[in-house]
């Protein structure tokens, strides 16, 4: 999968940990889809490396609840739903992170982070 003009979303500077294909402006809907797909593929790869100390997700956990019950403010917009769900689960605040900066709601398995990328 290769982006036609090698430009991507501006997720960091040249010294960023993000690969070059994640840098730069997003121009079209096709570009947005491409980079979102690359990002979710990378998260999917990382799911397999979550340690056993991370609990296995279930139907009572936050990820399952948010991904099955929460809609965007504009219910007809996939982007609105995606943004709202990710804000609830992964925003940069004390509600989503513990004192060590780790995400509170991350769980393993099909009802955990695998559900996020699927």
pTM: 0.68
- Can you tell me the distance from the alpha carbon of 102 to that of 115, in angstroms, rounded to the nearest whole number? 19
When pLDDT is averaged across residues 35-50 and rounded to a whole number, the result is: 87
Decide if 86 contacts 78 (C-beta within 8 A): no
Nearest residue to 73 (alpha-carbon basis) of 61, 87, 94: 87
**Domain match, 67 and 39 both:** no
Contacts of 21 (CB under 8 A, 6+ apart): 3, 6, 8, 35, 38
Decide if 34 contacts 95 (C-beta within 8 A): no
- Can you tell me the distance from the alpha carbon of 61 to that of 48, in angstroms, rounded to the nearest whole number? 19
89 in a structural domain: yes
In this prediction, residue 38 has a pLDDT band, given cuts at 50, 70 and 90, of confident
What is the per-residue pLDDT across 44-71, written as a single tens digit (0 to 9) for each?
899 989 999 999 999 999 999 999 999 9
**Domain match, 41 and 71 both:** no
pLDDT at residue 65, as a whole number: 97
How many domains is the chain partitioned into structurally? 2
Give residue 8's domain range: 1-47
What is the per-residue pLDDT across 83-103, written as a single tens digit (0 to 9) for each?
899 899 988 888 889 898 889
């Amino acid at each position: 999968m290769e982006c036609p003009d090698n430009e991507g979303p501006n997720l960091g500077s040249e010294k960023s940990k993000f690969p070059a294909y994640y840098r730069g402006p997003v121009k079209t809907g096709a570009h947005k889809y491409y980079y979102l797909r690359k990002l979710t593929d990378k998260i999917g790869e990382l799911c397999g490396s979550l340690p056993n100390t991370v609990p296995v997700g279930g139907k009572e956990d936050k990820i399952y609840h948010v991904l099955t019950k929460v809609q965007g403010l504009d219910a007809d917009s996939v982007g609105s739903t995606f943004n709202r769900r990710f804000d609830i689960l992964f925003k940069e605040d004390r509600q989503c992170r513990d004192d060590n900066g780790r995400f509170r709601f991350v769980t393993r398995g099909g009802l955990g982070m695998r559900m996020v990328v699927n």
